[in-house]
C-alpha cells in the first residue's frame, strides 16, 4: 500500500510567523507532528511519502501515485483541507482525514472518504486492516483514550528538517483544568496522559540525529498537567543535554500556576526550557471566574509573569476579549495589563465558542450562536457568538487594543521591559544556529534601514547595546518576531476589522456571530443550517 501523508496549508495568522520566517530562510514554523506520529504506526510494508503544503507544493501525480491520501488538519487549515479532498475526489484516490478539524466538525467533511474522530492510536490497526481488505468504513471513532506510553517515536526522518524553524515533540495530552472556552478537555480529557521519560529521551535523540539545531516545542496542552511525572522527566533531559551537548533548547505551554512552583520552574530552566506560552486571558477577575479559569483568579498575574522572567523563563501570553463579565473599560485595561506584564508576544484574540466546549453549549442554550456553529480557527477577527458588549463597541475596542499593542514603539517598549526583567540562565543556553545569525544580520539591515518603523527599531537596538548588550541575541529575535506581529496586524488584521466595522454600519444588524466565509463547506446535519449569508468578507 502506498500512503501519501498530507499536511494542508496554514493560512496567515499570528501563529504562522510568515513575515518572520524569511529572516531565517525557513518555510514553516513547525512540522506536522501528528502525521509523522501516524507514519510511525503504519505497517513497515507500506510505502510512505509526506508532503507538507506549507513547505512544498503537491502535484496531481503524487496524489495519483498513492493508494490512499491521509490528511490531518486544524480548523484554521480548512480551506486547504477541502481543496486537497476535492483533488483526491477528482483524481479518484481514496482520502482519510483525522486531527482536530475532523474531530470537532466531522459533519463538514462530506468530501472525505473516511473520517477519524478523536485520537487515532487505538483504532489505527483496525483502519489499516480494513483498508488492506478493501472494506474500510466511513467513520472511525475513538473508543478509550490511547495510552501514550505505547506511542512510537515519530518518523522525524520523513521531514525536510531544513524547512522548519523549530521541531516539535509531545510529552503529554490533556489538562487537569476546565476552562469553559477550551476544547482541550473535550478532545484529550482532564487526566493528563504522558509518555515515559525513556520515550521522550528516544524522541529527543531522534531529533538530534536529524542534525536539527535550535528550539524544540513540547506541544503539550499543559506541560505541567502532571507535575510529578514532569519532575521525573526534567533531570533526565538536563543530563542528556549535558552529555550529548545537543544544540537544542525547549519551549512549551503551561498554566500560570507554574509561577507558584519555583522549584519546578528552576528544573525546567536547568533542562533547557527557555519559554512557556501561558493563557493569561484577562485582567478581569470576574471574567476569569465566569470562564472557569480559576487557576488564574486571585493571582497577581503581572507579578507571576515577572517571577518567571526572573527565573529565566520567558513568557508568551494568550489574552482574550469578549467575556460576558467585561465592561467597555476592558480595552484600555487590557492594554495597560499587557504592557505591565512585559510580554512582547501577546496574542490578544476574541473569544470563540469552539465546538464541543461548555462555552459553545452555553451559547447554544442562550440562543447566542444564532444557529451558526461556524468557527474559523483564527480568533483574531471575529467572535462566533453574540457578545454582551454590542458588536460595534467590541470591534472598535478590539481594533484600539491591536493598534496600541502593535504600534512599533509600544511593541519595542514591551521588549525593553521584558529584557529588563528577564534573567537568562547559563543552563538553558545553546550556540546560535547559522539561520539565527544570518537572521540577526538581515534584521539589522532590513528592519534597521528599510522598514517603516526603523526609528523605533533603532532606538530599541541602541537601548539594548547601551543597557543590556549581553541580551542582543534575544532582542534581535524579539525584533524579528515583532516584524511578523506588527506587519500582520497592520496589513491584514486591522484592515479586515475596518471592513467589518464598515459592514456593521451599512449591513443588517447581524452582530458578530453570523460571519460565514465564502468558501465555507456545507454543513450537513439538520440542526446546522448551511449557507448563511455573509455579513462581512
Ligand atoms: S489551562 Fe489551558 S489547556 Fe487547560 S483547560 Fe484551561 S485553557 Fe485549556
pTM to 2 decimal places = 0.91
Q: Please give the number of the atom of ligand 1 that sits closest to the Cα of 221.
A: 3
Ligand 1 centroid to residue 146 C-alpha, Å: 20
Are 330 and 293 in contact by the 8 Å Cβ rule? The answer is: no
The cell numbers describing 228, all together, are 510529578
- Residue-level pLDDT at 379: 57
Pairing between β-strand 114-117 and β-strand 172-173 as defined by DSSP bridges: unpaired
Q: Residue with the nearest Cα to atom 3 of ligand 1?
A: 221
Any bridge partners for residue 52, and if so which? 7
DSSP 8-state assignment for residue 44:
T
The cell numbers describing 468, all together, are 543590556
Ligand 1 centroid to residue 319 C-alpha, Å: 13
Q: Please give the number of the atom of ligand 1 that sits closest to the Cα of 222.
A: 3
21 lines ligand 1 (CB under 6 A): no
Distance CA 248, CA 243 (A): 13
| Continuous segment of H or E residues that includes residue 193 | strand 193-194
Can you tell me which residue has the cell 484516490?
A: 93
Domains of the chain with bracketed CATH: 2-141 (3.40.50.280)
- SS3 assignment for 457-482: HHHHHHHHHHHCHHHHHHHHHHHHHH
- Residue-level pLDDT at 110: 96
Q: Residue with the nearest Cα to atom 6 of ligand 1?
A: 179
256 lines ligand 1 (CB under 6 A): no
279 lines ligand 1 (CB under 6 A): yes
Ligand 1 centroid to residue 276 C-alpha, Å: 14
- Residue-level pLDDT at 514: 35
Ligand 1 centroid to residue 471 C-alpha, Å: 32
Q: Splitting the chain (537 residues) into consecutive groups of 10 residues, what average pLDDT does each group show?
A: 97 92 96 98 98 98 98 93 98 97 93 96 95 97 92 97 96 96 92 96 98 96 97 98 96 97 97 97 97 95 97 97 96 98 96 91 90 54 87 94 97 98 90 93 95 97 98 97 97 92 67 35 27 25
The cell numbers describing 225, all together, are 498537567
- Residue-level pLDDT at 518: 31
Nearest to 479 by CA among 411, 419, 433: 411
Distance CA 21, CA 99 (A): 25
- Residue-level pLDDT at 485: 97
Amino acid at each position: 500500500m502506498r500512503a501519501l501523508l498530507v499536511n494542508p496549508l496554514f493560512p496567515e495568522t499570528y501563529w504562522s510567523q510568515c513575515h518572520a520566517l524569511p529572516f531565517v530562510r525557513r518555510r514553516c514554523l513547525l512540522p506536522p507532528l501528528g502525521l509523522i506520529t501516524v507514519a510511525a504506526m503504519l505497517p513497515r510494508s507500506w510505502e510512505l511519502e509526506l508532503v507538507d503544503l506549507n513547505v512544498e507544493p503537491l502535484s496531481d501525480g503524487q496524489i495519483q501515485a498513492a493508494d490512499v491520501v491521509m490528511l490531518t488538519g486544524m480548523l484554521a487549515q480548512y480551506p486547504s483541507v477541502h481543496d486537497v479532498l476535492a483533488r483526491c475526489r477528482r483524481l479518484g484516490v481514496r482520502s482519510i482525514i483525522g486531527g482536530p478539524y475532523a474531530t470537532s466538525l466531522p459533519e463538514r467533511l462530506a468530501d472525505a472518504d473516511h473520517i477519524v474522530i478523536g485520537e487515532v492510536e487505538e483504532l489505527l490497526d483496525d483502519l489499516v486492516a480494513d483498508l488492506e481488505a478493501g472494506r474500510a468504513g466511513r467513520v472511525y471513532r475513538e473508543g478509550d483514550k490511547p495510552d501514550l506510553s505505547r506511542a512510537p517515536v515519530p518518523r522525524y526522518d520523513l521531514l525536510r528538517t531544513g524547512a522548519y524553524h523549530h521541531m516539535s515533540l509531545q510529552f503529554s495530552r490533556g489538562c487537569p483544568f476546565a476552562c469553559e472556552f477550551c476544547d482541550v478537555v473535550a478532545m484529550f480529557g482532564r487526566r493528563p496522559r504522558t509518555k515515559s521519560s525513556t520515550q521522550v529521551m528516544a524522541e529527543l535523540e531522534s531529533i538530534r540525529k536529524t542534525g536539527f539545531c535550535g528550539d524544540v516545542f513540547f506541544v503539550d496542552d499543559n506541560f505541567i498537567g502532571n507535575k510529578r511525572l514532569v519532575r521525573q522527566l526534567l533531570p533526565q533531559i538536563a543530563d542528556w543535554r549535558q552529555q550529548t551537548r545537543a544544540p537544542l533548547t525547549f519551549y512549551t505551554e503551561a498554566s500560570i500556576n507554574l509561577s507558584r512552583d519555583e522549584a519546578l520552574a528552576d528544573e525546567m530552566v536547568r533542562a533547557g526550557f527557555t519559554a512557556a506560552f501561558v493563557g493569561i486571558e484577562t485582567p478581569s477577575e470576574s471574567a476569569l471566574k465566569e470562564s472557569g479559569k480559576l487557576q488564574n483568579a486571585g493571582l497577581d498575574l503581572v507579578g507571576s509573569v515577572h517571577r518567571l522572567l526572573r527565573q529565566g523563563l520567558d513568557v508568551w501570553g494568550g489574552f482574550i476579549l469578549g467575556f460576558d463579565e467585561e465592561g467597555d473599560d476592558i480595552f484600555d485595561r487590557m492594554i495597560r495589563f499587557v504592557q505591565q506584564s512585559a510580554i512582547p508576544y501577546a496574542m490578544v484574540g476574541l473569544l470563540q465558542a469552539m465546538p464541543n466546549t461548555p462555552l459553545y453549549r452555553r451559547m447554544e442554550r442562550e440562543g447566542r450562536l444564532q444557529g451558526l456553529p461556524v468557527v474559523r480557527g483564527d480568533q483574531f477577527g471575529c467572535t462566533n457568538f453574540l457578545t454582551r458588549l454590542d458588536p460595534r463597541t467590541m470591534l472598535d475596542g478590539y481594533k484600539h487594543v491591536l493598534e496600541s499593542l502593535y504600534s512599533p514603539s509600544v511593541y519595542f517598549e514591551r521588549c525593553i521591559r521584558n529584557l529588563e526583567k528577564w534573567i537568562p540562565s547559563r543552563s538553558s543556553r545553546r550556540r546560535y544556529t547559522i539561520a539565527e545569525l544570518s537572521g540577526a544580520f538581515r534584521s539589522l539591515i532590513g528592519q534597521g534601514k528599510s522598514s517603516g518603523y526603523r526609528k523605533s527599531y533603532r532606538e530599541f537596538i541602541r537601548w539594548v547595546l547601551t543597557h543590556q548588550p549581553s541580551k542582543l541575541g534575544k532582542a534581535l529575535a524579539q525584533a524579528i518576531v515583532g516584524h511578523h506581529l506588527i506587519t500582520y496586524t497592520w496589513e491584514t488584521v486591522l484592515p479586515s476589522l475596518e471592513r467589518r466595522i464598515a459592514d456593521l454600519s451599512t449591513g443588517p444588524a447581524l452582530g458578530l456571530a453570523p460571519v460565514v466565509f465564502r468558501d465555507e463547506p456545507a454543513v450537513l446535519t439538520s440542526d446546522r443550517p448551511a449557507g448563511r449569508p455573509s455579513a462581512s468578507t
